[in-house]
Structure formats: structure tokens, C-alpha cells
Structure 1
Amino acid sequence: MGKDIFKNIEARERQEEWYQRFLVRANCKVESQSVPTSFGESHVLTAGDSSKPVLVCLHAMLTSSAHLLSEIRHLTDHYHLVLPDIPGHSVKAIPERFSFKSADHIKWLKEILDHFELEKVNIFGVSLGGYVARAFASEYPERTSKLALLVPAGIVQASVIKGLMSMAIPMIKYKVNASEENLKKVVNFLITEWDDDWAHFLGDSMNDFITPKTIPPLASEEELQNLTMPVLAITAEKDISFPGEPLIERVKANIPSVETELLEDARHCPLTNEEFRRWLAHRLVKFLDL
């Protein structure tokens, strides 16, 4: 574990501002609470009517609960959303990163579910959050009703060398000169369609966060076969990290009950417009409510 996840105090303050900005963008009533775990106090955001079924939602690497909520707010019409901030990957989270060689992510999520007395629950995870959700579901299939994954990490991995070669020069140029033109050259590898908030947030994140030194390991065939609950995997065709078609091939070959969707022409960050938000909410509701 590291001592902190930010390069300096100014970086943390800038990310706090981004958190608040995405919380405003979410445009729905939320509650913020601190949940005690053996790793420290964990920040959890909740949204939606508490009388509705619970959906646990896990955000992507170096984002936050507010970032995810801003893109899935339509789900609050159907579910009570519980959005924990993943340790080491959010300005609101425990400021230490767990080793992927340990079971700490699984233990941490179990303690969050125990706190909310969720014996069995639906879980939705995006990117790194998809890895954490999948790892938990593989270990505790009896506690996972259904599992929904959007561009999940840890199932397939594109060539790291190819990815680094694609982004290295644009990223170096942006770090030297943080111009709009250089920002676009970097984030265009990641986002499907330009979005001012997301693009500038990603640009700041590259400079604010201490870069994670490791990536989630690939799930074994046994771990995927342990997913005995219904699973939905939504992948992106042009994802340079977790390419959509190979990911679909692997989950279909190993997960007993799986539905898939391939987002054509999409990169790792899918569309962030209203049309896609409504489509995603509808697709998740269709899967979870069957």
C-alpha cells in the first residue's frame, strides 16, 4: 500500500473540486456516509428511494462514486444505489491502494455489504469496479444475485506495449504543454465522444494522481466458471485496454449464464450523452429485473 494517491495537496484539492462538479452533474438527491471497515473509514454515496431494491455500483479507476452516479442517475428511478469509493482510486476513498495479489478488494467489499446487511445483492461494476465486482462474485457467488459489468478490467488484456506506444508520446506532450490540442490527442484514445467535463477531468487526473504501478490480473477460467449467477457483460469495440470482441468470446466460453452487448465504435469510456445514459439504464433494468 502507498502512503497517498496524490502528488501534492493542490492535486487533492483539484480532485475534490471535480468530485463536487460531478456530484452536481448527477442532479439527484444523495446521501454521503462513512462506513467503518478493517481498512479504515470508507466513503459511500447512496441515491434513490431506500425502499427500492439495492444495486451496488463500483466506479472506474481514479474516478469516484460521483463520477459514476452522474452517468447512471436514471437507475435511481428503479433502485436504491449504493456507491462505495474504491480504496486508492478516488479522492473520497481510503488513500491507500490494495495489492492485486491479495484478496483485500474482496474483503473490503464484503465488509461494505455486511455494513448494509446485504446478504445477497445485485452488483454493477465499471472498468476497475468491474474487476472488483467480478472478483467478489467469484469468491462469494452465493451473495451475488446478478452481476453486470461495463468494460470490465481483468478478463482480457490488450497488448500493454501497444497501448503504451499509442499513448506515451501524446501523454508526454500533454504533461509538458497542457494545451487543449494536446489534451484531445491523449483523451481521444479513451473517450468515445468529446465531453468537456470528462476530458478535462482526465487531463487533470493524469497530473494529479500518482500513477498506479500495477493492473488487475486476468481472471482464471475457474474464477469465471464460479460466476454461477446471471451475468451481463457490456464491452466496447475499440477499447484499447480491454477489447470488446475478445472479452465477449472469453466470457461466453467460461461463464455459465451470460448475456453480452458490444458497443460498436466505442472506446473504453463509452458515450456520456443522455441517449446513452437512458439506453444503459434500460439495458441494466431489463437484465436485473428479469
Structure 2
Amino acid sequence: MKSLVKTPAARTALEGWYQTFRAKLPTKTTERRVATRFGETHVLVGGPEDGPPVVILHGALASSAHVLSELAPLLSTFRVHAVDIIGQSVKSAEVRPSVSDNSYGIWLAEVMEGLALPKAHVIAVSYGGFVALRLAAHAPERIDRLVLLVPAGMVSGPPLDGFFKLGLPMLLYRAFPSEKRLARSVQHLLTTVGDDWTRYLGEAFRGIDLDMRIPPLAKPEELANLTAPTLVIGADKDLSFPGRKLLDRAAKVLPNLKDTELIANCLHCPPTTDEFRAWLSGRISRFLLDAQWSQ
């Protein structure tokens, strides 16, 4: 099996960054290990034990600690299970399931079974959105309410813009790393630059064997049995998954789309400020707790 991480030194660096982001969390979290047919999966669990159960899925090149640090206010209300996606996080098995079928949905259903979660709210970011859509296609009954934040698997961005503004700068940085090239590689990706995310991505771009497979777009017939009330949040300046295009297609693909939000002046990675974290977690919490969306 090909390693997700290129070198032992890169693994050490990425493990260190995981601990850095986990240390930002305001409350205690515990680690779980869940066996699946695809390999062992790491899960970070926190929040009140009697809180409504939530599964959170991170984006590519990230981890449970990364996404939970951005959604930490949810820990005050919900019992959160932040799952490290196999093949995308150094904390879980490095196997990369097929993206052309429901393998990721089967995997996530097994993770939820191992966590004794027959059903939960699902919050999914970027690549995690693709994984959540595969769960929706495979086992929609496991999703109570669904929140998709700048999700993969719904729309595609302009390929030339994506290559010249995102892909090429990242490749140049990987080949010839420098502070200037790192800044160029994230300037069309991160709304907030210069913080830990910028430095972390520098390590990730160089240290991880990137998965270049493009997840296919979800089809309406695949999601026909999804009854979970759904919120989709897009970013108006997202090159990867353009926000307005995302929300327009969501209305055609998701059978129980109840709410949408288009974040203004926002790139693919939303602001990493305390003010925005509070707003985003509040927006998601209100949707998950709103009685009018009961199934």
C-alpha cells in the first residue's frame, strides 16, 4: 500500500500540527478507534454526552482536529464525533477507497455503526461533503440533518482558473518551496492568510502524496431517498466550487433542501477568525435545532 505521507519526517511534522490544532479546542476531547473493512478509523469525540449526536467530516489534507478547531463552539451543545477520513488524514488508515462508487459511504456507515450511532446530524466540509453525499446515497437513513459547507461532489469550478490560480502555484511550491511561493499557493484558497493554516498547508503540500482523483458529481437519482433536512453553505469567491453555482444545483439535486447561505467575500476556505467561527457555528446550530425542520 502506498503511503499517504512521503517521509517519516513529514509524518512527524503533520502529527505535530494535528496536536497544535487539537490544543486549540476549548474543552476536553477523547480519541476513538473504529475498525472497518477499509481499515482503522480515528475519531475525535467531545461535547456533552447527552447532547444531540453530530458527525463532522473534514476537508482534504486536514483532520478531525483541524475541522473541530473551526467549529469548536458546537462542543458546548452537541456530542461531536469528528471523523478522520481514510486516505486524507494521517490519523486514519492510509487506504484510498474508490471515488466512483459508494465505497466512502459504506465506510462511513461502518464508522457510525462502530460508534453506536444509528443516526446523527452530519456536518461536512469540502472533500468531506463528497463523503457525506456518498453516505446519503448508500445509507440515507443514518442522516438526521445534513449540513454541507463548500462541499465537493456537487459542482465543478472553471478548470483553467483552478489550474493557474490553485494547481500550478501549489506544484511550484512543492518543487521549489519558498515563503513567496507558499503565499501564492494559498492566496486564492484561504480567506484568512498568515495564520497556522498557511503554515500547516505548507507542510501538507510538501509532505502528503496528493490524491488527484476528482470525485464525480452527485446525481439526483442517487439522493432520491434522502429525507434529511439539508443546509448548504457556499462561498461567493470559491474557485473550486463556485458558491452561486453550488446553491443553484443543490436545489435540483437535494430532495429536502431547506436552507442555503452564500458567504460574501469568501474563498474556498472561510475566514479563520473567532468572530467567523462563532457566526458559522451559530448558523449551523440554529439549523440543527430548529423544530420547523423536523422530519
TM class, shorter-chain normalised? over 0.9
What's the CA shift string for 1:243-276, capped at 9, x where partnerless?
A: 0000000111232332100011101100010111
Verify: 1:205 aligned to 2:200, yes or no: no
CA 138–169 in structure 1, closer or farther in 2 if over 3 Å, else same: closer
CA distance in 2, matches of 1:267, 1:225: 30
SS at match of 1:25: coil
Deviation of 1:172 (Å): 4.1
The one-letter code sitting in structure 1 at the alignment partner of 2:280 is: L
The one-letter code sitting in structure 1 at the alignment partner of 2:271 is: L
SS at match of 2:35: strand
CA distance in 2, matches of 1:172, 1:102: 29
What's the CA shift string for 1:24-63, capped at 9, x where partnerless?
A: 1223210012111122221111011111111000111110
CA distance in 2, matches of 1:145, 1:223: 18
Q: Which residue of 1 aligns with 2:293?
A: none
Q: Which residue of 2 aligns with 1:75?
A: 74
SS at match of 1:222: helix
Alpha-carbon RMSD = 1.4
**In the alignment, is the contact (CA less than 8 A) between 2:105 and 2:139 conserved in 1?**
no
Unmatched 5+ residue regions in structure 2?
A: 291-295
The one-letter code sitting in structure 2 at the alignment partner of 1:257 is: N
Q: Which residue of 2 aligns with 1:100?
A: 99
CA distance in 2, matches of 1:241, 1:249: 15
**In the alignment, is the contact (CA less than 8 A) between 1:224 and 1:251 conserved in 2?**
no
What TM-score do the two structures reach when normalised by structure 1?
0.95
CA distance in 1, matches of 2:141, 2:63: 27
Q: Which residue of 1 aligns with 2:252?
A: 253
The one-letter code sitting in structure 1 at the alignment partner of 2:261 is: E
SS at match of 1:280: helix
Deviation of 1:16 (Å): 0.5
CA distance in 2, matches of 1:25, 1:216: 31
Q: Which residue of 2 aligns with 1:279?
A: 279
Deviates more, 1:111-120 or 1:57-66: 111-120
CA distance in 1, matches of 2:170, 2:35: 38
CA distance in 1, matches of 2:278, 2:41: 30
Q: What is the number of equivalent residue pairs in this alignment?
A: 289
CA distance in 2, matches of 1:44, 1:239: 28
The one-letter code sitting in structure 2 at the alignment partner of 1:81 is: V
Provide the identity percentage.
Answer: 40
CA distance in 2, matches of 1:210, 1:128: 16
Unmatched 5+ residue regions in structure 1?
A: none
What's the CA shift string for 1:81-131, capped at 9, x where partnerless?
A: 001110010010111111102322111111111112222211110011111
Deviates more, 1:233-242 or 1:94-103: 94-103
Q: Which residue of 2 aligns with 1:270?
A: 270
Q: Which residue of 1 aligns with 2:42?
A: 43
CA distance in 2, matches of 1:253, 1:109: 25
SS at match of 2:71: helix
CA distance in 1, matches of 2:210, 2:269: 19
Q: Which residue of 1 aligns with 2:121?
A: 122
CA distance in 2, matches of 1:222, 1:195: 42
Alignment of 1:63-212 (within 5 A): 63-212=62-211
CA 204–221 in structure 1, closer or farther in 2 if over 3 Å, else same: same
**In the alignment, is the contact (CA less than 8 A) between 2:57 and 2:123 conserved in 1?**
yes
What TM-score do the two structures reach when normalised by structure 2?
0.94
